Structure 1
Amino acid sequence: MRDIPGAWRRTAEGAGLLASDGAVGTTIFAEMSGLAATTGAINLGQGFPDEDGPDAVLDAARRAIADGANQYAPGRGVPDLLAAVAEHQERFYDVRLDPATQVLVTAGATEALAATLLALLDGPDDEVVVFEPFYDAYAAAVALAGARLVTVPLHWPDFQPDVDELANAVTDRTRVILVNDPHNPTGAVFTAEVREQIVRSAIEHDAIIVTDEVYEHLVFAEAHVPLATLPGAAERTLSISSAGKTFSVTGWKIGWVTGPADLVSAVLTVKQFLTYVNGTPFQPAIAVGLRLPDAFFRGIAATLHAKSELLGEGLRAAGFGVSPPRGSYFTVADAAPVGATEAAQFCRELPARAGVVGIPLTAFVTPPHRHRYGTLVRFAACKRTDVLAEASRRLALLQR
């Protein structure tokens, strides 16, 4: 196969898509989903719910379509959604924003991340510090921008970084500190000490903080703390979130970026050449969702917490070591106690052995560091309770 030129190759390398011969390989995610389809296994690999979101949000989208909201939205987003995002930030975090200049609607959080990194990075002299394991789109977007990825390891079993390792990773070459909290794939929520060190390092080295907060309403035992609320952070932080995880509408791809007006405008400059605009009838629907009562937001966190505990109980009963998540969709388990020596191979065999699909944590790690996470597997708890119960029953077969 011919070599992949330019940005295409950089992106494929960053996302871990290149095989050893330079050809584009399939991702482990596609492979595991394919195994689920061909074997009839329960797919706990991909992080999407199997239940629809609240009726008020779904009905609002239907009304918007019926009322003719089917053409291009304004470049920054539908004004009512811009206002709703600003209201949401003030309501939950006491962050006051100008919806006309400090909020931008995007095609999900993934586009927000890509547009943000493309706007802020200027080639190989710029570094982006991320916590490893990390959502795979981070490495791809950094590679597309031609910048350098610098990783800070998260340590089993609580998946917190060492603050000294974090401090040492951030230098004067650091342009962006990219933070995912609550964290995918580990389910971690960072401690106050870690959050404070992130801000301290950003200020010391004049870096911009970019936060991925898509699981902000899925924190189990405490309130989510955006980095933008810490002293000295607001003027250098772009906060990213989306509707998909909160409202169980992952296919709608409605996200947003908030922060200082000049930084948001820089992201808009790139975003307009990516999707231009998106999801016009879904935008007023998400405005409805962001204005739902507090009971809704408490309820989704409590429901997912219960599902995560159910999954964790099933994994422990099957013999796995389990890292109890503090938020997000995901639970990470150590498969070594059930015979695994390498997570990817274990995950390839698991559908046939137990009728369940998981994702090796090494899929979210740069190649030099995969040995740190060699037998760890990510499972998604964002499924119906009966599905999780059946998955637990199947996983128990590993003990036979």
Structure 2
Amino acid sequence: MPKPPTDLRLPTLDDVRDAARLIAGAVIRTPFLPAPRLSQLTGARVWVKYENLQVTAAFKERGALVKLLGLDAAARARGVIAMSAGNHAQAVAYHATRLGIRSTIVMPETTPHVKVAATRGFGAEVVLSGETVAEAEIEAERLRLRDGATFVHPYDDFDVIRGQGTMALEMLEDEPDLEVMVVPVGGGGLIGGIATAAKALAPRIEIVGVETRLYPAMWAELRDLPVVAGGTTLAEGIAVRRVGLINLEIARRLLDDLILVEESDIERAVYFYLTLQKTMAEGAAGAGLAALMTAPERFRGRKVGLVLCGGNIDPRILSSIMVRELAREEKIVAIRLIIPDRPGVLGEITTVLGRMGGNILEVEHRRTVLKVPAKGASLDVVFETRDGAHAQEIIAALEALDYTVERLGQTDRQS
């Protein structure tokens, strides 16, 4: 692996403090609050930093604003350009418009319409190019050279990194005896800034990064291994194949640990933020809580600060997560019965479900399934229960009437 450039400029605590001065009053000082229900869930003493309360619902405003405020009059007149598929795009667009700076954001053609619309809504000119952020970056560089605009990198930029580090100042001001900060890692700008400030203020604090196992870019770089990454992830905000050089050097010096988490744990984290904390977390923001569930002994009994870095999640995805988690907890259950095709059978089954306290959500009655006898039918029922034990009681009541009951998963219901 090539060594980092010898002239690499790393931010200091003073740089982060200066960034905090610059953005004061223009970026929300978000709350950092105890989360007793998450503490009960994980065994750690959990505090949450609610960056989803920023105007653009993500932490990216901090670094983007510091970068924009550092531009001289000539650079402001030429405008800025960035590439992003989401939060960075909206942050640059919002603060550039607020400061009277023209902004162009290059986004992949696959970016969800809601994110494109939000970025345009904050005043940016949006250019759709390429299938990935990497391809969008190529177009952004071409436009930068053509127009002379300043490129605002989402994570590998000195000012962006020190701006993200202002979060650590706030967290330690609110809770000086914090023992661990758990930070999602994509390109590394967030953890680079946080580690810089936190380690300088509290040398004994542990900085733990979290990546999705599908995109372990920082994990591989720290071990001098080739980066093998890819696949569909809920945490698209941290799905990168290349980390920033500045951030990698900071991580080598200051990072205490890095945990890889599975997609299922990220899903559960998003679900628990919504149901236990009554707050929205996008997939990347759920990574920290997922780490606590992945390695509970690592954090048990310790005072842990989680960075809820953003809340921009597609409502359809959130709905799917809710249903999937309810199914995992057996609060939504799907069953299949093979029944005789005669009057009254469906009524008998629904009566049992109602008497046992099950709430029917869906019923599908089919007579054309070849594996069902000619005088029979297939009946699929989806119903709500209190928990797994309650579901088993309902199934036992149906079996007592001589019905054969098969439990179904999501894929089974489509067959």
Tell me whether the two structures share a fold, i.e. TM-score over 0.5: no
- Using CA pairs below 8 Å that are at least 6 residues apart, which structure has the higher relative contact order? 1
Larger radius of gyration: 2
Give TM-score, length-normalised by structure 1: 0.31
